[in-house]
């Protein structure tokens, strides 16, 4: 019997042209290319131009995804944008994307789950499409994350970058084994002091800067991610051996390797862009997904497992077939 499913029609990405290398950073704080590469795998990150805002990056990624999907902007009736670095406090950055794209119908709103944001946005859009509320969704992760960095804090400023990625999700009645299969999203508000921004509209009236106890986050990341992955696999009849590609949040090469090892996933199934993009928070998963689709590693029919962990704590996993 056919059921209503959310099908991934296409992916897209946008990276600002300016690149900041580890050597550039070593002139700003007491760090080195050797330390950053050894502890994180990061070689460089992209930085948005001064006149670029998050919705500019998101719009560029969305246009790329629509072109690759062969879907017209007129068909889009839902935009769910995951971001921690909105253009303004309100309205939602997704509505700026809606206006820039010229989308005239439906709804657009933001989702805030920091580095896990894209998986929360996918789960939200998938549920709304399956319920029949909308038919064609742009799910976007976009960040100008470097705007909330303390450039004198070597423990955080070397880790993050800017960018955007997007997928076009479309509802379809089908009995084919395609589209979004399962997702699991969770948060634990008691751990917010380990990764947060020390400012906000109603607290300090300032934007604030990222603060992180990196080694504590690292410890929780591997445990929470592994548990979320177990949940999505348990919901299905699929096993780790069925996974064609692992597209994790790109925080640290050591976390990627640790999770892959714990799962028994061979390294050649892991998509890693952390070396070239750094941690782009909500943008990292769709950027990595698009990279591997564009270079033809991930193809139609492939089963993809994704996961993320971020501030909140928030974490999750998603399973989908292209
Ligand atoms: O995406 C959201 C979720 N975020 C994450 O998943 C991040 C998770 N955490 C991490 O990726 C790692 O914890 C870091 C890469 C942030 C740090 O690596 P670590 O191996 O956990 O290092 P550490 O924080 O335990 O620090 C070890 C040493 C310290 O020096 P002492 O106290 O041992 O003398 C730090 O001060 O490394 C020092 N350090 C640095 N040294 C050179 C910290 N940052 C730097 C730096 N360059 N950039």
Task: Say if residues 233 and 241 touch (Cβ distance below 8 Å).
Answer: no
Q: Which one-letter DSSP state was computed for residue 92? A: -
Q: How far is the CA of 179 from the centre of ligand 1 (A)?
A: 37
Task: Say if residues 120 and 281 touch (Cβ distance below 8 Å).
Answer: no
How large is the average pLDDT for residues 142-154?
98
- Which pLDDT belongs to residue 168? 98
Break the chain into its structural domains and give their ranges: 3-174, 179-321
Provide the mean pLDDT of the chain. 96
Q: What token pair was written down for 29?
A: 């704080």
Burial class (CB in 10 A: 0-12, 13-18, 19+), 211: middle
User: Does ligand 1 lie within 6 Å of residue 35's CB atom?
Assistant: yes
Quickly count helices (H) and strands (E) in the chain.
Answer: 10, 13
Task: Say if residues 85 and 42 touch (Cβ distance below 8 Å).
Answer: no
User: Does ligand 1 lie within 6 Å of residue 31's CB atom?
Assistant: yes
| Integer Cα distance of 139 and 124 in angstroms | 9
How large is the average pLDDT for residues 144-163?
98
For ligand 1, atom 2, the nearest C-alpha belongs to 310
Assess whether the region 3-174 and the region 179-321 belong to the same CATH fold: yes
Q: Which one-letter DSSP state was computed for residue 193? A: G
Q: How far is the CA of 215 from the centre of ligand 1 (A)?
A: 6
User: Does ligand 1 lie within 6 Å of residue 279's CB atom?
Assistant: yes
User: Does ligand 1 lie within 6 Å of residue 214's CB atom?
Assistant: yes
Fold observed for domain 3-174: Peroxisomal Thiolase; Chain A, domain 1 (3.40.47)
User: Does ligand 1 lie within 6 Å of residue 211's CB atom?
Assistant: no
CB atoms within 10 A of CB 204: 11
What does the chain come to in residues?
322
pLDDT digits 0-9 by tens, 274-307:
999 999 999 999 999 999 999 999 999 999 999 9
214, 255, 257: residue to mutate for ligand 1 pocket, most atoms within 8 A of CB: 214
User: Does ligand 1 lie within 6 Å of residue 196's CB atom?
Assistant: no
pLDDT digits 0-9 by tens, 169-191:
999 999 988 999 999 999 999 99
Helix (H) or strand (E) holding 321: strand 314-321
Known catalytic residues are 115, 249, 279
pLDDT digits 0-9 by tens, 222-255:
899 999 999 999 999 899 999 999 999 999 999 9
Q: How far is the CA of 251 from the centre of ligand 1 (A)?
A: 12
Task: Say if residues 85 and 68 touch (Cβ distance below 8 Å).
Answer: no
For ligand 1, atom 14, the nearest C-alpha belongs to 214
Burial class (CB in 10 A: 0-12, 13-18, 19+), 189: exposed
Helix (H, G, I), strand (E, B) or coil at 32: coil
- Which pLDDT belongs to residue 2? 87
33, 155, 210, 228: residue to mutate for ligand 1 pocket, most atoms within 8 A of CB: 155
Helix axis angle, 214-235 to 253-263, nearest 10°: 40
CB atoms within 10 A of CB 142: 41
Fold observed for domain 179-321: Peroxisomal Thiolase; Chain A, domain 1 (3.40.47)
b/e burial code for range 286-303 (CB count within 10 A of at least 16 → b): bbbbbbbbeeeebeeeeb
- Which pLDDT belongs to residue 225? 93
User: Does ligand 1 lie within 6 Å of residue 251's CB atom?
Assistant: yes
User: Does ligand 1 lie within 6 Å of residue 65's CB atom?
Assistant: no
Residue 281 CA, closest ligand 1 atom number: 1
Helix (H, G, I), strand (E, B) or coil at 25: helix
- pLDDT above 70: percentage of residues in the chain: 100
pLDDT digits 0-9 by tens, 289-298:
999 999 999 9
């Amino acid at each position: 019997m056919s059921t209503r499913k959310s099908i991934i029609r296409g992916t897209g990405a946008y990276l600002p042209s300016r690149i900041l290398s580890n050597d550039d950073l070593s002139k700003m704080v007491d760090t080195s290319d050797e330390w950053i590469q050894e502890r994180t795998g990061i070689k460089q990150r992209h930085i948005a131009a001064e006149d670029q805002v998050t919705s500019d990056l998101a719009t560029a990624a969305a246009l790329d995804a629509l072109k690759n999907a062969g879907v017209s902007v007129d068909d889009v009736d839902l935009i769910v944008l995951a971001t921690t670095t909105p253009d303004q406090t309100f309205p939602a950055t997704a509505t700026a994307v809606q206006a820039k794209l010229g989308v005239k119908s439906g709804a657009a709103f933001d989702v805030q789950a920091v580095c896990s944001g894209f998986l929360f946005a996918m789960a939200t859009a998938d549920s709304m499409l399956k319920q029949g509320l909308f038919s064609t969704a742009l799910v976007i992760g976009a960040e100008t994350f470097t705007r909330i960095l303390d450039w004198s804090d070597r423990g955080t400023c070397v880790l993050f970058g800017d960018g955007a990625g997007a997928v076009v999700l479309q509802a379809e009645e089908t009995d084919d084994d395609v589209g979004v299969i399962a997702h699991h999203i969770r948060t634990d508000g008691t751990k917010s002091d380990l990764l947060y921004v020390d400012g906000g509209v109603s607290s300090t009236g300032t934007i604030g800067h990222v603060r992180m106890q990196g080694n504590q986050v690292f410890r929780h990341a591997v445990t929470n991610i592994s548990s979320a992955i177990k949940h999505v696999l348990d919901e299905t009849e699929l096993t780790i051996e069925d996974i064609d590609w692992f597209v994790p949040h790109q925080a640290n090469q050591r976390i990627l390797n640790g999770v892959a090892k714990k799962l028994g996933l061979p390294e050649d199934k892991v998509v890693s862009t952390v070396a070239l993009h750094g941690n782009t928070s909500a943008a990292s998963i769709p950027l990595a997904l698009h990279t591997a689709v564009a270079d033809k590693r991930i193809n139609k029919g492939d089963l993809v497992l994704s996961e993320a962990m971020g501030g909140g704590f928030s974490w999750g996993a998603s399973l989908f077939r292209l």
